[in-house]
Copies of this chain bind each other. A is one copy, B any other.
């Protein structure tokens, strides 16, 4: 029985648990006044080239995105995002919850949106002000919901919308490490045009740990209030921060992302060899979307393997997600499952 349901079914990496145990002794100031959090702010600030006070640990990814987006815009402004993005489709309206800002869903091949589609919405809205909410931020998921990755050139292409219309860029980095190892960019290169980043630790191997990293000082102002008010200020914050530190140490997060990406490449190979199967989306990170003949898929599911149908990719389409914890044997176990006939 192999798990390809999501990278969040995996356990925490052993180094995460070691770090938790190490920090769990004695008293520590609450609400982030502790030494682990101080150290994390320094270390993550150094990774992304921002000051320590621009690093904000939180509990989970939904809130991380919601906080980031709501800090960056006003209620009468809107967010441009892919129609299949997590923030539009999988957060039950969290990004709109606090001030009701609209998400404008955009179509786009392989989970990516384009500057052209954004420009169309921006110009349409501005021409109809103040009747239409004003687009103010573009949310890019990196890697995307379809396991693809925006190249540096693709990211740079959004810059003209920033200078021309004052647009800001949010990067949903729930799987940022997977994109970084896929592109070969450094973390700093990856966020060069970004105002605010959701940095994901949970899918990367933590127990639960995420962080908002803010590159725009205007958005960073008062963020302490915003985080508190969304219920994301941990009282015993050291236990969040120490996980993040363990991920950053010796680039563990990138090593684990590399491992996950490699397994996705292996899985792609294995699925490609199946009669009647078809890879539907370029495999650039740790997800594989494939059409699998129904009889085969059903046999796999009946054998207890865990993965989801993905109807937005068409009939008989399925999603397979790998993680640092995926083993080659999991892939073999999946594809070698006997098909009942």
Contact = CB atoms under 8 A, between A and B. Distances in A.
A282 interface: no
A130 B236 contact: no
B27 A92 contact: no
B228 A131 contact: yes
A292 interface: no
A306 B98 CA distance: 36
Nearest to A127: B311
B3 A27 contact: yes
B207 A62 contact: no
Nearest to A132: B89
Given A93-B229, A208-B234, A9 B24 contact: no
Interface stretch (A73-81, A178-186, A248-256): A73-81
A228 B6 contact: no
A140 to B, nearest CB: 20
Contacts of A131: 89-92, 228
Contacts of A92: 76, 130-133, 225, 228-229
A90 B239 contact: no
Interface in A212-245: 222, 224-236, 239-240
A234 B93 CA distance: 16
Nearest to A3: B27
Contact of A134 (B26, B66, B225): B225
Given A20-B207, A230-B94, A9 B29 contact: yes
A229 B27 contact: no
A105 interface: yes
A106 to B, nearest CB: 11
Nearest to A4: B27
- Tell me if A's interface is mostly helix, strand, loop or mixed: loop
Given A11-B26, A236-B207, A90 B132 contact: yes
Interface string A175-205: 0000000000000000000000000001100
A208 B101 CA distance: 28
20 contacts: A8-B236, A11-B27, A59-B60, A60-B231, A62-B231, A67-B231, A75-B97, A76-B92, A76-B93, A76-B226, A76-B229, A89-B128, A89-B131, A90-B131, A91-B228, A94-B231, A98-B100, A100-B100, A130-B227, A208-B240
Given A21-B21, A89-B131, A130-B227, 6 more contacts: A17-B21, A59-B59, A92-B225, A96-B102, A130-B229, A207-B239
Interface of A: 3, 5-6, 8-12, 17, 20-21, 24-30, 59-63, 66-67, 74-78, 89-94, 96-103, 105, 124, 128-134, 202-203, 207-208, 222, 224-236, 239-240, 306, 311, 325
